[in-house]
Amino acid sequence: MTLYVLRRLGLFAVGLLVTSLLVFTALRVLPGDIAHVIGGTKATPEQIATLRSTYGLDAPLLSQYTDWLSGLVRGDLGISLRTHVPISTEVAEKFHVTGPLCLMGITVALLLGLPAGIWSGLRHDRPSGAIVSAVTQGVAAVPVLWAGLLLILLLGKGVGLANLLPTQGFPIDGWQQPGRALQSLLLPALAIGLVEGAVILRFTRSAVIEALPQDYLRTAAAQGLTRTQALLRRGLPNVSLSVLSVIALQAASLVTGAVVVEALFALPGAGSMLVTDVANRDLIKVQSEILLLAALVLVVGLLVDITHRIIDPRQRRVVVV
Amino acid sequence: MTAAGLVRPAEPEEPDLRRIPLWRAVWRSGGGRYGAVIIALVLISAALSLVWTPYALQQTDTSQGWLGPSVPHPLGTDLIGRDTLSWLIAGSRTTVVIVLGSVLLAGVLGVGLGILSALLPGRLRESLVVAVDILVALPVLLIAILLAAPFGGSLAVVVLAVGIGAGVNVARVLRPEITRAAQSDFVLASRACGSGTMRRLRDHVIPTVGPLLVVQLSQVAGLALLSEAGLTFLGYGAPASTPSWGRSLAEAQHFIGVAPLSVMWPGLVIAATVLAVNLFGDALRDALDPRRRTPVAAPGAAPQDAAALSGQRPATAPPPSPALERDAATAGSAP
């Protein structure tokens, strides 16, 4: 187990390194002279020269890269070109919105996807199960953006049929008033959760259908358990394995969904910040932000893989790279 | 028991899918039929929009802004009186370009990387496998930003981001199947007959992973449509002058309070098309999969039919080949 965790950590480190190289190449090397890109077409030669010397853009690319990396290791993400505030401070602040948003989104997705997936898997040969499955196919085909808009039309304050929840912004005093903060995150989290939940439902359903004819469930039935009892007591550990893998896969689309939804609901989170920074060509900040978001996805993958290892007894003794 | 009258009348025989043409096998399923109709509609309107749309795209009339559905404008108009239906019809052009581009790129990348990461020798293969595993974690959105931040948004950004992001995913899904196919007896037999590597890949390996590839690519098509909407909304997709469904949705959302219906149409069109592409892919997989096409899948029905046809006792019906059954079982559980 320790060996596995060490190997997996090693893979994680390699992953970060490869991603950082990729991000650096795409943003610093490919565009040619980055100072020109940042300065825009109207910048004077003097302004560009200042940009270069202030941000160390005149140093050789390799030392720019190693500077960036060593800064990252120390938690120094660089300084924003526009606001001149350390990027790490800004990011930490924005995660007060993005973190809870993602957690709420994935909670909604699991609350919807798991029970409904198990239910429709148990009833996959009946009309009710087929209807759930068809509806899920439909929901999974909806763009997150549209899901958010539909929710606004249904529940949004001022616009919606039900006139319930705020659709724009986040309280200025942040989490000082938890109720209001939660309210403003509810619709965006629902938008993410619905779409992700449909995917989780589909995977749970097929995992249940796959588990149903297994011998261990037949044994449980022979011992007097009903089909549902047998599945819930003996089958769930097996089903949870495939659900875990889906969560790892969904981490990437969760990040994407969060960025879109933050922009739609005007939430001051990390996603909106990234979009603004791209628009302002604050490439040094964009570079660190993209690496952070990619790292987030890699961390989820790492945690899921290790959890997978812990809860699946079949994998404990086998050493697999 | 052998009297002809006691034998249950033969049920209409399940047609042998090997003999019926592919399109008919797809058409047999409801999902495949829905998918084919919607995809055909999109293709037709894309072609039609090159020569004709109900109104000229740039025909504006500010006195006719945000009209509801009416006979001259079935889906209403936008802020400056442009016909919504015309823009959606023209937007299907962009959809076709993006979907074809992404699917092509993801297919080439996926099959190429899949073959390399399954068949390269030793260390080279392992590092490629690790690289693919890492790249899979990179969301399409981040790839798009990497491309759009220095160069600005465009259709090419969408195609490249989806193609690359989904391509590595396809490679990861295909790799175990390609490895399995490459180690199978029929490839060995082909090798014993003196066939070259390219020939074995073309004739034996790629057809085996074909059904899986089709499903993957149909998902890529869906992902391309969904990504186009998101990326255009964030400003990394098509420029303002290019009609696209994502752009129609992104522009309408500003005015959701004024004209809620105008948000519905582009969203509906996107969702319906994504659904169509997914269902069509599923139907195509079922029709293509050689294991699903052999009439092994109905263990209850097979002996009965055999008995009805030959008049023999059910016990003598040939048992389904265990090898085929095993393959069918493992095929469903691709990691």
CB pair distance less than 8 Å for A138 and B150? no
Pairwise CB contact (< 8 Å): B137 & A298: yes
Neighboring chain B residues of A145 at a CB cutoff of 8 Å: 229-230, 233, 249-250, 253, 267
pLDDT tens digit sequence for A22-81 = 999 988 887 777 777 777 777 788 888 887 887 778 788 888 899 889 988 888 888 887
3-class SS at B16?
coil
What is the Cα B68 distance to its own chain's centre? 34
Own/partner long-range contacts of B17-26 (Cβ < 8 Å, ≥24 apart) = B17/B287, B17/B292, B17/B293, B17/B295, B18/B293, B18/B294, B22/B284, B22/B287, B22/B288, B25/B283, B25/B286, B25/B287, B25/B293, B26/B280, B26/B283, B26/B284, B26/B287
Structural domain boundaries enclosing B279: 21-53+77-293
For residues A284 and A72, what is the distance between their CA atoms, to the nearest angstrom?
12
- Token pair, residue B215, equals 């499903």
Beta carbons of B137 and A18 less than 8 Å apart: no
Q: Tell me if A275 and B226 make a contact (CB, 8 A cut-off).
A: no
User: Quick check: A196 pLDDT over 80?
Assistant: yes
Question: Residues with Cβ < 8 Å from A65, sequence gap 6 or more?
Answer: A21, A24, A28
pLDDT above 90 (res A147): yes
Rounded average pLDDT over B58-85: 82
- What tens digit of pLDDT does each residue of B73-116 get? 888 888 777 888 999 999 999 999 999 999 999 999 999 999 99
Residue with tokens 């261990």, as numbered in its chain: A216
According to the model, what pLDDT value does residue B12 have?
A: 53
CA distance A255 to chain B (A): 8
Q: Could you tell me which chain B residue has the CA closest to the CA of A292?
A: B142
pLDDT, tens digit, 9 for 90 and up, residues A109-119: 999 999 999 99
With contact defined as beta carbons under 8 Å apart, do B266 and A150 qualify? no
CB neighbours of residue B190 within 10 Å: 17
| Least confident piece of the model among A268-272, B76-80, B167-171 | B76-80
Q: What is the pLDDT of residues A226-250, one digit of tens each?
A: 888 888 888 888 888 888 888 887 8
pLDDT at B6 (0 to 100): 53
Of A57 and A256, the one with more pLDDT: A256
A296 vs A143: CA distance, rounded Å: 23
The answer to whether residue B306 scores a pLDDT higher than 60 is no
User: Average pLDDT, stretch B124-134?
Assistant: 88
Bigger pLDDT: B90 or B297?
A: B90
Q: Give me the CATH number covering residue B289.
A: 1.10.3720.10
Query: What local confidence, expressed as pLDDT, does residue B226 receive?
Result: 94
Q: Tell me what percent of the residues of chain A surpass a pLDDT of 90.
A: 33
| B306 within domain boundaries | no
Q: Which residues of B touch A279 (CB under 8 A)?
A: 235
Residue B9 in domain: no
DSSP string, A117-147: HHHHHHTTTSHHHHHHHHHHHHHHTS-HHHH
Tell me the backbone φ, ψ of residue B96, rounded to 5 degrees: -60, -45
User: Which residue did the predictor score with more confidence, B317 or A94?
Assistant: A94
Count of alpha carbons within 13 Å of A261, Cβ hemisphere only?
A: 32
A-facing residues of B in 111-140 (CB < 8 A) are 126, 130-131, 133-135, 137-140
Please name every residue paired with A165 in a beta bridge, in sequence order, or none if there are none: A156
Q: Which residue type, as a one-letter code, is found at position A58?
A: D
Q: What is the mean pLDDT of chain B?
A: 80
Of B126, B90, B119, the C-alpha closest to B180 is B119
User: Which of A81, A146, A284 best probes binding to B when mutated, by most B CB atoms within 10 angstroms?
Assistant: A146
User: Which architecture characterizes domain A87-316 according to CATH?
Assistant: Orthogonal Bundle (1.10)
Residue B321: pLDDT band (50, 70, 90) is very low
Q: Let me know: does B311 contact B2? Beta carbons within 8 Å.
A: yes
- First vs last C-alpha separation in chain A: 12
Residue B331: pLDDT over 60:
no
Mean of pLDDT values over B189-200:
84
Whether chain B has a CB inside 8 Å of the CB on A256: the answer is yes
Both tokens assigned to A73: 């290791």
Q: What pLDDT is recorded for position B314?
A: 37
> Considering only CB atoms, which chain B residues are within 8 Å of A150?
263, 267
Q: Do A275 and B234 touch (CB under 8 A)?
A: yes
Domain count, chain B: 1
Residue B142 tokens, joined: 């981040």
Query: Using a CB-CB distance cutoff of 8 angstroms, which residues of chain B are in contact with residue A260?
Result: 141, 230, 233-234
> How many CB atoms sit inside 10 A of residue B257's CB?
13
Of B137, B266, B271, the CB nearest to A252: B137
Using the structure block, give the residue that is written with the tokens 């007959």. B193
State whether the Cα torsion A75-A76-A79-A83 is positive or negative: positive
DSSP characters over A54-77: HTTTTS-HHHHHHHHHHHHHTT--
Residues 55 through 114 of chain A touching chain B, CB cutoff 8 Å = none
CB contact under 8 A, B151 and A31: yes
User: Is residue B174 less than 8 Å (CB to CB) from chain A?
Assistant: no
Q: How many CB atoms lie within 10 A of CB B255?
A: 15
Ramachandran bin of A222, using left for φ above 0, alpha for ψ from -120 to 50, beta for the remaining angles: alpha
Q: Is residue B68 part of a domain?
A: no
Using the predicted structure, report yes or no on whether residue A120 has a pLDDT greater than 60: yes
Residue from B140, B172, B234, B269 whose CB has the most chain A CBs within 10 Å, to mutate: B234
On whether residue B41 sits in a domain, the answer given is: yes
d(CA A275, CA A268): 11
Highest mean pLDDT among A133-142, A165-174, B12-21, B301-310: A133-142
Q: What is the dihedral of CA A245, B277, B28, B38, to 10 degrees?
A: 150
How would you classify residue B152: left for phi > 0, otherwise alpha for psi between -120 and 50, otherwise beta? left
The pLDDT of residue B290 is 60
Interchain contact, A159 vs B257, CB within 8 Å: yes
* Alpha helix segments (H runs only) across chain A: 2-24, 34-39, 45-54, 61-73, 87-122, 127-140, 144-155, 178-211, 215-222, 227-230, 236-264, 270-279, 283-311, 313-316
Closest residue to A259, CB basis, from B131, B135, B141: B141
- Considering only the beta carbons, identify the residue of B131, B149, B267 that sits closest to A143: B267
Q: Once rounded to an integer, what is the mean pLDDT over residues A310-314? A: 79
In a domain, B218, yes or no: yes
Give mean pLDDT, residues B263-278: 94
Tell which wins on pLDDT, A35 or B170: B170
CB pair distance less than 8 Å for B234 and A14:
no
Q: Distance (Å) from the C-alpha of residue A145 to the closest C-alpha of chain B? A: 6
Which chain B residues are within 8 Å of A259, Cβ to Cβ?
141, 234
The answer to whether A241 faces chain B, any CB pair under 8 Å, is: no
Residues 19-58 of A with CB under 8 A from B: 19, 22-23, 26-27, 30-31, 34, 37
pLDDT of residue B8: 54
Q: Rounded to an integer, what distance in angstroms lies between the CA atom of residue B295 and that of residue B303?
A: 12
pLDDT score recorded for residue B89: 93
Share of chain A above pLDDT 70, in %: 98
d(CA B181, CA B204): 8
pLDDT at position B36: 94
In B, minimum Cα distance to A283 occurs at B149
Q: Which of residues 260-289 of A touch B (CB under 8 A)?
A: 260, 263-264, 274-275, 278-279, 281, 283, 286
Encode A17-36: b = buried (16+ Cβ within 10 Å), e = exposed.
ebbbebbbebbbeeeeebbe
Tokens of A215: 């011998």
Question: Averaged over B47-54, what is the pLDDT?
Answer: 90
Q: Taking the CA atoms of B110, A199, B237 and A23 in sequence, report the sign of the dihedral they define.
A: negative
Domain presence at residue B308? no
Collect all residues with Cβ–Cβ distance below 8 Å to A27 and sequence separation of at least 6: A34, A283, A286, A287, A290, B146, B149, B150
Cross-strand partners of A156: A165
For residues A97 and B320, the model is more confident at A97
Domain with CATH 1.10.3720.10 in chain A: 87-316
Distance in angstroms (rounded) separating the CA atoms of residues A191 and A150 = 9
Q: Identify the sign of the CA torsion B156, B158, B162, B165.
A: positive
Residue B10: per-residue pLDDT: 52
Q: Could you say which of B137, B260, B278 has the minimum Cβ distance to residue A137?
A: B278
Minimum Cα–Cα distance from B257: chain A residue? A159
